[in-house]
Amino acid sequence: MSYSTLNLLLILMLLLWFWRDSLRVRESAIRISRSACKSHGVQFLDQTVALHRLGLRWFRSGLKLRRVYEFDYSLEGSGRHTGYVVMIGMQNVSLHIDLPVQHTEPEIDQ
């Protein structure tokens, strides 16, 4: 077996690992996004979790992939808003959902 064949096999195995790992992390990001939307009382719009950014980060434990996924949600069934989930490896490190601030009017005694 030549070196070019071995290199090709190694590259194919690496691509297969990356693809399977990305699917697992995306499924985890979907679960996290769905759960966060439910706990905030907003509607998670299915099948909107998509890879937004991919990068490498050095940690004491070694090199890890950092993936940023974006997802869409709706506040009251109208309009689309975007949230983000940051995953390092299989671990969720950050979640961002913009929610409007509820202003309550002070009651005035007459």
67-100 pLDDT, tens digit per residue, is: 999 999 998 877 889 999 999 999 999 999 988 7
Question: So where are the chain's domains?
Answer: 3-96
The overall pTM is greater than 0.85: no
Measure the CA–CA gap between 44 and 87, rounded to whole angstroms: 19
Q: Which amino acid is at 84?
A: Y
Output the DSSP codes for 21-35: HHHHHHHHHHHHHHH
Tokens (6 digits) for 34 = 């769905």
12-51 pLDDT, tens digit per residue, is: 999 999 999 999 999 999 999 999 999 998 999 977 899 9
Measure the CA–CA gap between 73 and 79, rounded to whole angstroms: 8
